[in-house]
């Protein structure tokens, strides 16, 4: 390489691009979202550092489940898989911050989920509803 030649852009990660949202030109489905066949069933969204293991496990919950990879921004995924279904967000391992769970719940409701429940590893289950107009 000559001293005046430009260096090629740095590449990394699967597919050759850095994993940041500025380089994404499309929104992808969450992990395991493409292989779902809900047929009236509920949807489980696994979150936290143990999300991948739980979403892959055929014995933990045999129903429909997807994963929000730990540390990922929920807006990077298309949550239309939740349309018309009730959703349970479950946290495993190190939990996501409450702000991330709130953002995820809002995206699920905006995508058409009927009801969203959050069950952290420890603590009470929370119901998250659409905000109704002021009375």
Residue 52 placed within a domain: yes
Residue in 55, 73, 72 with CA at minimum distance from that of residue 64: 55
Q: pTM for the complete prediction?
A: 0.69
Domain assignment present for 110? yes
15 has a pLDDT exceeding 80: no
Q: How many domains does the chain have?
A: 1
Phi first, then psi: what are they for 80, rounded to 5°? -65, -15
CA 43 to chain centre: 12
> What pLDDT, in 10s, does the model give residues 78-114?
998 888 889 999 999 999 999 999 999 999 999 999 8
Residue 134 lies in a domain: no
Range of the domain at 58: 27-128
Place of tokens 């005046």: 4
Residue 1 lies in a domain: no
Contact 45, 70 (CB under 8 A): no
pLDDT tops 60 at residue 20:
no
Let me know if residue 40 belongs to a domain.
yes
Strands 115-119, 126-128: pairing is antiparallel
Q: What is the CATH number of the domain that holds 87?
A: 3.40.50
What stretch of H or E contains 106?
helix 98-110
- Report d(CA 63, CA 88) in Å as an integer: 12
- β-strand pairing of 126-128 with 43-47: unpaired
Residue pLDDT, tens place only, 46-82: 999 999 899 888 888 877 889 999 999 999 999 988 8
């Amino acid at each position: 390489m000559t001293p005046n030649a430009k260096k090629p852009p740095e590449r990394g990660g699967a597919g050759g691009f850095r994993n940041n949202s500025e380089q994404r030109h499309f929104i992808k489905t969450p992990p395991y979202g493409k292989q779902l066949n809900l047929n009236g069933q509920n949807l489980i969204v696994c979150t936290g550092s143990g999300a991948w293991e739980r979403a892959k496990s055929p014995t933990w919950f045999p129903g429909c489940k997807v994963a929000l990879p730990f540390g990922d921004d929920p807006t990077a995924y298309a949550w239309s898989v939740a349309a018309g279904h009730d959703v349970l967000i479950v946290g495993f391992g190190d939990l996501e911050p409450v702000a991330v769970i709130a953002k995820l719940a809002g995206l699920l409701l905006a995508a058409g989920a009927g009801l969203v429940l959050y069950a952290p590893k420890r603590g009470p289950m929370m119901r998250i509803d659409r905000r109704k107009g002021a009375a």
